[in-house]
Amino acid sequence: MQHQRDLNPHTKLGVVFSLGLPRQHGGRIFNRDGHVIILRGPSGDLIEEYTNRGSEVLQKIEEEIEKYDDIVLTDYEDTYYNLTWKTVANLRWLSGFCDKVHNDVFMILDDDHGMNLTRVMDFLASMPKAKKRTSLFGYIARWDGATRNPLSKLFLSHREVPWNLMCAYPRGFCQIIGTDIIDDMAIGSAYTRHNYLHEDVYLGLLTFKLGIPLHHVDTMFSESMKPTPGVMV
């Protein structure tokens, strides 16, 4: 980020980190609507690494807040299966505490992804102001189905999600959200159940209900995709 700031000295950019509380019990084992799922990979590894170290983690978070004042800490367990709680917390914090008059967009970015700030600014400069402020931009998935395999970490039961095809949604690694729609999304989150849906699918459902346009950005990619020339995220 320091390198990006040096390359863009005239760009004003605020960065905060959104966190929940460390998990106290259960380790990498979760119950998903009656199905026991073992969370494998880095997400599960980190939970096990910090099992019974909650006080240590919170102390480090407090030190970071005291030194940099750059953390939004919310009262939920910060795990893979609570990313939707994190997303809802982000929407409400942006709505309640961020300047929506002098800013046109907010960006939400996973901490395991980088961005090219110059290309992000070029992308935003190419968009009409009204479109920026009233739209959500991301890598839009349009034909994804619900995963019914209870052994998969993406499992969704028929009771939780009765439909098999998801509505269009921005993949979870990054979204750019217009400032004119953030209040509506924050309010809408209070009336849209979010305890089961994956966070990106939840954003798709929320924008669908509110009639917010989604715009595909092919210069965004995640680790599972092949990078395209000129990527910005």
Residue 198, CB half-sphere, CA atoms under 13 Å: how many?
19
Whole-angstrom Cα distance, residue 30 to residue 27?
Answer: 8
Q: Could you tell me if residue 116 is inside a domain?
A: yes
User: Bridge-partner residues for 215, per DSSP?
Assistant: 137
What was the pLDDT predicted at 227? 64
Asked whether the beta carbons of 106 and 95 are under 8 A apart, the reply is no
Residue 233 lies in a domain: no
For residues 86, 15, 142 and 232, what is the CA-based torsion angle, rounded to 10 degrees?
Answer: -150
Integer Rg of the chain from CA: 18
Per-residue pLDDT, averaged over 207-229, amounts to 87
Letter for the amino acid at 170? P
pLDDT digits over 129-164, tens only? 999 999 999 999 999 999 999 999 999 999 888 999
The predicted-structure confidence for 47-56, as pLDDT tens digits, reads as follows: 999 999 999 9
**101: containing domain:** 2-216
Give the three-state DSSP class for 82: helix
pTM for this entry: 0.93
Q: What does the pLDDT read at residue 148?
A: 95
Q: Tell whether 70 is covered by a domain.
A: yes
Beta strand 214-216 pairing with 136-141: parallel
- Does residue 18 lie in a domain region? yes
Q: What is the pLDDT of residue 188?
A: 98
- Give the tens place of pLDDT for each residue, 186-212: 999 999 988 788 999 999 999 999 999
* pLDDT of 194: 83
At 198, the amino acid letter reads H
Residue 22 lies in a domain: yes
Asked, for residue 30, whether it belongs to a domain, the answer is yes
- How many structural domains compose the chain? 1
Q: Does residue 165 fall inside a structural domain?
A: yes
Hey, what are 57's tokens?
């983690």
